[in-house]
Structure 1
Amino acid sequence: MMPKQRPLLLTGALCAAILSLGACANKDDQGGRDRGAPEVGYVVAATSAVPITTELGGRTVAFETSEVRPQVSGLIRRRLFTEGGVVRAGQPLYEIDASLYRAAVDQAEANLASARASAAAAEEKAKRFEPLAKMQAIAEQDYTDALAAARVARAAVAQNAAALETARINLRYATITAPISGRIGRSLATPGALVSASQAQPLAVIQQLDPIYVDMQQSSAELTALRQSLASGGTQPGSTAVRLKLEDGSDYGFTGTVQFSEMTVNEATGTVTLRARFPNPKRLLLPGMFVTALFDQAVEPDAILVPQPAIQRDFDGSAFVYLVGKDNKVVRRKVATERTAGTNWVISAGINPGERIITQGVGNLRTGMQVRPVPASSAQQVGAAGREAAKGK
């Protein structure tokens, strides 16, 4: 080898070494960048049936209400019940002085006896006149008059019998009984008070509290929108089961059932009344209480649920999410959030089934960032379909 070629060989070897080191450095830098990509948790968007829960304010209403009123006039002699207690249908509540009504019964009985005696005499006379009329021993008119008198006498018997029945009914009305079973309130009349059948004020009020009604008010516009959605197939009918929250925010322990919806709209409020029926064995609900009713009025069959931590808000308040896009790069997507369902948002636009939604590690993400996606914890999975899809990724 010639002396001039050695420096050239050394120079070539040195250059090769430098290039090799540079390639290794580039490879190490690339590997470092891969290892430095943040890890994010995701769920796979899937459709599921989501109930549309309606929350309405309402008032409790007694199942049955009856005002105790007198049907005859007179002085109250006794009150026969305990105020605030439970009474049964037919139980005596008040006793009115019945002297006049007993006398009316006695008079009606006497009048009936007199009418029956007169009728017997008139019928006997008509029987005696019949053969005489056939023999022309008496005038035909006399026999006709005797028959008519017998018929009048029989009618008088019927009239007096009806009068006697009326007198007996009035005598029974002197004892005022409970028309329904339930809890009776305070007495509005005391012994010695004069009452009449035409008075405006009741003597007491009885209310049946088990079961009990809850009347709810819903906007006619909401009800119309719901009916149109049901008719178009966008939603399906929900359940008639109703849950209650009491005035203090606690849950009522029993579930009720929607009975019906009125067919007219209140012109003053623009609402429609819905009535639900609830068991009330402990008498916890009293008429007039304000409650909040919750029930699944419809079901959205193909809704997409997204965990609440995945939803971010822009400066204008609009919602967006981060998705795991192609090559595991972050994609920012605006979405339309309708309502919440438990711990999830119901998304009406912006996400398609099967897309991967980032739910964990969203704090420092930006569009186009390289990430290492892993399935989020099972507690954040959206339904069984979402978990199965996440496993398949």
Structure 2
Amino acid sequence: MLFMTTRRALPLLLTFSLAACGGAEKGGPPRQGPVEVGVVTLTAQPVTTTTELTGRITATAVADVRPQVDGIIKARLFTEGTTVRAGQPLYQIDPRLYRATRDQTAAQLASAQASAATAQAKVARYNRLQTADAVARQDVDDAVAADREAKASIAQYRASLRTANVNLGFTRVYAPISGRIGRSAFTVGALVSAAQTSALATISQLDPIYVDIQQSSTALLDLRESLASGDVLPASTTVRLVLENGRVYPQAGTIQFGEVSVDTTTGTVTLRARFPNPQGILLPGMFVRLTVPQTIVRNGILAPQQGITRDAKGNATALVVGADNKVALRQVTTGQAVGAQWLITAGLRTGDRLIVQGTDKAQPGATVKAVTVAAGTTAAGTTNPGITN
């Protein structure tokens, strides 16, 4: 009986053994290999640092159109809001009174010239008679004085005639500069005066145009110290402008100069930039933001922003893959953001392999498989084929 039971049990034991072996092959845990991470090899390169400043737009030149004589405006000779050129007539003031004054002065000049001719002839005649003792010496002296007085009157009336012509010319008001003219503050029929404080209109030159920028004196001192130490090189003076609606102005400008004094109320120094404005987009008084190059770091290290994290204390950290393919945690110091990268001032160096993808799988001290991430695939939201995130 025992022999029969054993014979029946052997096939069952064999079956269970085979099933167990097959289960181990199919359902057992797979062999674990190193985690794949995406890395970027850091290199030193010249990096231009920039700063964002605010500014106000001002016209290149501003001129108030003012009357230089008194009178009634007879005509306005321009369209408000248009571009005018220097010397273009803008207003016509009633010229009749000034024309009459000019004509009167011209007549007085003619009379003085006639009197001068008579006096000159009398002097010539008296000189001939004096040689024959036919005229008294006193009469000769009186004739000479009258001749000189007549000539002085001619000079006086000529000057008065020039003044009258100038005043008559002032009855037509011309544009002192070229630019865009604003609204007219006086209408036809208004009485204007040379002594008035209100301008008839204002002309502004808008192409090119200026942007006055405010920079703190502290930042300016830091920049000068960095330049003096030789750690950085001076950057280009080209600046970019962002409009009030957030759009980038298509044309670049240049820094023209900086003030030689600090504003005592704000502690800032005014810089002036010049921008081309052919379309007239930039208008005086607009508030804008500018990206101004400050310096060029000779050997700057740029690290993708997703490769830099913050610990609980807010310190910047980075994971790098060493030569033995082990992960190391680095404490780093970041400067300003340059596009989608951080400028690293301490903690990373040329040749470091910075982990930018798969950072959640990499642990300090663990062995990983580093896969180089192609340029342009390190931006947020992108993944690298074969990298486990």
Q: So what's the TM-score if we normalise by structure 2? A: 0.82
> Which residue of structure 1 aligns with residue 296 of structure 2?
299
Alignment-derived partner of residue 166 in structure 1: 163
Cα–Cα, structure 1 residues 45 and 167, in superposed 2: closer, same or farther, change >3 Å? same
Partner of 1:340: 337
Please say if residues 307 and 380 of structure 1, whose CA atoms lie closer than 8 Å, have aligned partners that are also in contact: no
Q: Which residue of 2 aligns with 1:150?
A: 147
Residue 43 of structure 1 and its aligned partner are, at CA, apart by 2.5
2:350 alignment counterpart = 353
Q: Measure, in 2, the Cα distance between the counterparts of 1:265 and 1:302.
A: 33
Distance 1:335 1:346 in 2: 10
- Whether the 8 Å contact between 2:37 and 2:368 is mirrored in structure 1 is yes
Letter in 1 for 2:335: E
Q: Specify the alignment match of 1:101 in structure 2.
A: 98
Partner of 1:281: 278
1:260 aligns with 2:272: no
Aligned counterpart, 1:243 = 240
Deviations 1:76-124 (A, max 9, x none): 1222222223322222222111121011101111121122223333333
Residues 284-303 of structure 1: per-residue CA shift (max 9 Å, x gap)? 22221111111323211211
Structure with more of its chain in helix, by fraction:
1
Cα distance between partner residues in 1 of 2:89 and 2:349: 71
Q: Distance in 1 between matches of 2:265 and 2:136?
A: 79
Q: Which amino acid aligns with 2:59?
A: A
* 8 Å CA contact retained: 2:60, 2:205: yes
How many residues align? The count is: 350
**1:225/1:150 CA distance change after superposition, 3 Å:** farther
Rounded to whole Å, the distance in 1 between the matches of 2:224 and 2:353 is: 34
Aligned equivalents of 2:49 and 2:83: distance in 1? 41
Q: Summarize the Cα distance change of 1:126–1:54 in structure 2 as closer, same or farther, 3 Å threshold.
A: farther
Gaps of 5+ in 2: 1-30, 379-389
Greater CA deviation, 75-84 or 119-128? 119-128
Which 10-residue stretch deviates more, 153-162 or 97-106? 153-162
- In the aligned structure 2, how far is the partner of 1:61 from the partner of 1:178? 20
2:35·2:361 contact (CA, 8 Å) conserved in 1? Answer: no
Deviations 1:192-226 (A, max 9, x none): 21110010111111222222222211112112221
**2:348 counterpart letter in structure 1:** I
2:57–2:286 Cα contact (<8 Å) kept? yes
CA distance in 2, matches of 1:234, 1:305: 17
Cα 1:357–1:115, aligned 2, differ >3 Å: closer, same or farther? same
% identical aligned pairs: 53
In the alignment, which residue of structure 1 is the partner of 2:25?
Answer: none
CA distance in 2, matches of 1:167, 1:80: 23
- Partners in 2 of 1:227 and 1:120 — Cα distance? 77
Q: How much has 1:321 moved relative to structure 2?
A: 1.0
Question: Equivalent residues in 2 for 1:163-202 (5 A)?
Answer: 163-202=160-199
Match of 1:234 among 231, 235, 238: 231
Letter in 2 for 1:315: A
**Which residue does the alignment assign to 1:10?**
none
Change in CA separation of 1:139 and 1:254 when aligned onto 2, cut-off 3 Å: same
Which residue identity lines up with residue 118 of structure 2 in the other structure? Answer: A
- Matched residues in 2 for 1:325 and 1:86: separation? 67
Is the 2:37–2:362 Cα contact (8 Å) retained in structure 1? no
Secondary structure of 1:107's match? helix
Kindly provide the amino acid, as one letter, of the partner of residue 53 in structure 2: L
Separation in structure 1 between the aligned mates of residue 211 and residue 360 of structure 2, nearest angstrom: 46
DSSP-derived class of the 1:322 partner = strand
Deviation for aligned residue 1:260: 1.8
Residue 286 of structure 2 aligns with an amino acid whose one-letter code is M
Alpha-carbon distance in 1 for matches of 2:293, 2:377: 23
User: Residue 388 of structure 1 aligns with which residue?
Assistant: none
For residues 8-47 of structure 1, the aligned pairs below 5 Å read 36-47=33-44
Contact 1:44–1:357 (CA under 8 A) maintained in structure 2: yes
Question: How far, CA to CA, are the matches of 1:238 and 1:142 in structure 2?
Answer: 87
Give the root-mean-square deviation of aligned CA atoms: 2.5
1:362 pairs, out of 340, 344, 359, with: 359
Distance across 1 between alignment mates of 2:284 and 2:143: 67
Paired residue secondary structure (2:211) = strand
- The structure-2 alpha-carbon separation of the partners of 1:336 and 1:148, relative to structure 1 and needing over 3 Å to count, comes to farther
- Indicate the residue corresponding to 1:384 in structure 2: none
Output the CA distance in 1 between the equivalents of 2:267 and 2:149: 64
Match of 1:117 in 2: 114
Pick from 314, 320, 324 the counterpart of residue 321 of structure 2. Answer: 324
Distance 1:49 1:138 in 2: 102
1:70/1:173 contact within 8 Å kept: yes
* Offset at residue 345 of structure 1 (A): 0.6
Q: Tell me, yes or no, if structure 1 residue 54 matches structure 2 residue 51.
A: yes
Which range moved further: 95-104 or 371-380?
A: 371-380
Task: Determine if contact 1:331/1:367 at 8 Å carries over to the other structure.
Answer: yes
Change (3 A) 1:303 1:148: farther
After TM superposition, the structure 1 stretch with the greater mean CA deviation from structure 2, 211-220 or 312-321, is 211-220
